[in-house]
Amino acid sequence: MSKNKVVISIGGSILVPGNDDSAFMKRLADLIVRLKDEVQMVIVCGGGKIARYYTRTSAALGADTGAQDLLGIGVTRLNAELLRLALGDAAVPGLPLTAEEASAKSVPGRVVVMGGTVPGHTTDAVAAMVAREMGAERIVNATSVDAVYSSDPRSDGDAVRYTELTIAQLKELVYDDHGAGRSSVFDPLGVRIATEERIDISVVNGRDLEDLGNAILGNRINGTLIDSNRKG
């Protein structure tokens, strides 16, 4: 296990919300380039609303879950290609198609960027598989909420905001089943892998580049730190 290997799961809602996305991706790439010599990184890109459009539309056309997932994976890989362009020479050439390939391509000082792998899970689970494969200490989930809450704070005024959770507590907050395009705080399979491998998960607002940078470096964050060693 290395203290300076980190896998970042970055949601499509962060990368491609459809709001001056290239400008954000350049700022994100600047941050990653600044940190790449301190932390060995693999970045797994999500699909966001564009993936949900494809899964929903293909479902309406009769696609089964596996076929819907394949379209979702295609979108995650398109998003990964955009981030790879933003990173330029800092990115390892090519897009790994599996967690094993991502781990094998990961080297200090350069960043591996990828999307999904196979049907049946989300890119959060891919991030956990890559983290297991490369012996990473931490997964950073760069998402559209600023922390983990007990329920959706937009609809529940009593929602509790967590700054720290044990992984057992997180488990109770995530879904048990998988459905294409369904979203939860972190993919349940990813949580299971993180539990087994004792990999910490930091949940931060991916648009807050200061907090994202702190999460990557393992500094104190405004988001939620899910500690894999403090089993509750």
Name the residues that contact ligand UTP, by CB under 6 A: 11-13, 46-48, 51, 55, 68-69, 72-73, 76, 116-123, 126, 180-181, 183
Q: Shortest Cβ distance from residue 9 to ligand UTP (Å)?
A: 8
Q: Which amino acid is at 33?
A: V
- In the bound state with ligand UTP, the residue whose beta carbon lies nearer, of 90 and 226, is 226
- In the bound state with ligand UTP, the residue whose beta carbon lies nearer, of 38 and 101, is 101
Q: Shortest Cβ distance from residue 177 to ligand UTP (Å)?
A: 13
Contact 86, 194 (CB under 8 A): no
Q: Shortest Cβ distance from residue 6 to ligand UTP (Å)?
A: 18
- In the bound state with ligand UTP, the residue whose beta carbon lies nearer, of 119 and 153, is 119
Q: Shortest Cβ distance from residue 34 to ligand UTP (Å)?
A: 25
Instruction: Give the Cβ contact number of residue 163 at 10 Å.
Output: 12
The two tokens of residue 30 are: 């600047």
How distant, in Å, are the alpha carbons of 28, 43, 45, 59, 204 from that of 10?
11, 7, 5, 25, 10
Q: What are phi and psi of 5, to 5 degrees?
A: -115, 125
Which single residue brings its beta carbon nearest to ligand UTP? Answer: 72
- In the bound state with ligand UTP, the residue whose beta carbon lies nearer, of 73 and 216, is 73
The 3-state DSSP class for residue 223 equals coil
CA quadruple 27, 30, 34, 38: dihedral, nearest 10 = 80
Q: Shortest Cβ distance from residue 143 to ligand UTP (Å)?
A: 7
The alpha carbon of residue 102 and the mean position of all alpha carbons in its chain are separated, in whole angstroms, by 14
Q: Environment class of residue 1 by beta-carbon count within 10 Å: exposed (0-12), middle (13-18) or buried (19+)?
A: exposed
- In the bound state with ligand UTP, the residue whose beta carbon lies nearer, of 169 and 183, is 183
